[in-house]
Amino acid sequence: MIVGDLKPLEEIVSAIKEYKQVLVLGCGSCVTVCLSGGEREVEQLSRELSQLQHYQGTPPKFEVGCILRQCERDLVLEYQNIPAGTEAVLSLACGAGVQTLADAFEPLPVIPALNTTFLGASDKAGTWTEKCKGCGDCILIHTGGICPIARCAKSLFNGPCGGSKGGYCEVGQGIPCAWAQIVARLKKTDKLHHYEEIRAPKNWQSGGAAGLRKRVRTGLGDGSKSN
């Protein structure tokens, strides 16, 4: 899922204080699961933002709402609940959601309330860890299902650097060395030959180095054209 974190309150206040009425809009997908942008967080944030102490003048009036997925234009266009008098939307979605709203709701200003951080997963309750950088050419088959791009501090491709010690990364903070984990997993699964293989250098065009990435639906199709 995409993981996002609430921006500092002062930053949000400074972005919305010029408006008289703000719609605080959550997203019912990834950011709901990572407890930063669902209906509950929308209610909490609008309550907090209504506190007089955050403003020198009068606080804006807040309305609340939620869209199942702010990153889907159709769902955004279906959303007909923008209250009369709304001067800005405060979005609790990831950057993709905020941009979809901004396109669909133009000229209404759309303000991000979250910092989109990474593609991650929850290893234990209340904690999310980065797992993927969306490189567009997944190599997990060679690395025992552990991503060296996201999980090695240097995104190394061919094994650990000299800073790997006792299974931990030289960056400290108890962060495991991704390559120590990869080698251990490959050993355990009897796939160490993947580590020994020489592979061509990665082509980073699929990772965004060639500009804006766009996906057109692929897949196996319905088979109607086979043979």
CA distance 130 to 121: 7
Q: Side chain identity at 11, as an amino acid letter? A: E
C-alpha angle with apex 120: 118 to 124, nearest 5 degrees? 135
Query: Quick check: 170 binds ligand SF4 (CB under 6 A)?
Result: yes
Considering only 17, 54, 61, 133, the residue that binds ligand SF4 (CB under 6 A) is 133
Question: Residue from 150, 182, 183, 186 that binds ligand SF4 (CB under 6 A)?
Answer: 150
130 sits near ligand SF4 (criterion: CB under 6 A): no
| 102 is an interface residue for ligand SF4 by CB under 6 A | no
By CB under 6 A, is residue 147 in contact with ligand SF4?
yes
Please answer whether residues 30 and 5 qualify as being in contact, where contact means their C-beta atoms are separated by less than 8 angstroms: no
42 binds ligand SF4 (CB under 6 A): no
CB 148 to ligand SF4: min, Å: 7
Minimum CB distance to ligand SF4, residue 212 (Å): 18
- The yes or no reply on residue 177 touching ligand SF4 (CB under 6 A) is yes
**What is the torsional sign of CA 196, 200, 206, 210?**
positive
Size of the site for ligand SF4 (CB under 6 A): 24
Give the separation between CA 50 and CA 55, rounded to whole angstroms. Answer: 9
Cβ atoms 117, 34 nearer than 8 A: no
What is the C-alpha separation between 77 and 85, in angstroms, rounded?
A: 19
Q: Which is nearer to ligand SF4, 110 or 169 (CB)?
A: 169
Under the criterion CB under 6 A, does residue 160 sit at the interface with ligand SF4? yes
| Residue 132 in the binding site for ligand SF4 (CB under 6 A) | yes
What is the bridge-based pairing of β-strands 110-112 and 88-91? parallel
State the maximum Cα–Cα separation within the chain, in Å, rounded to a whole number.
72
Q: Which residues bind ligand SF4 (CB under 6 A)?
A: 132-135, 138-140, 147, 149-150, 152-154, 156, 160-161, 163-164, 169-171, 177-179
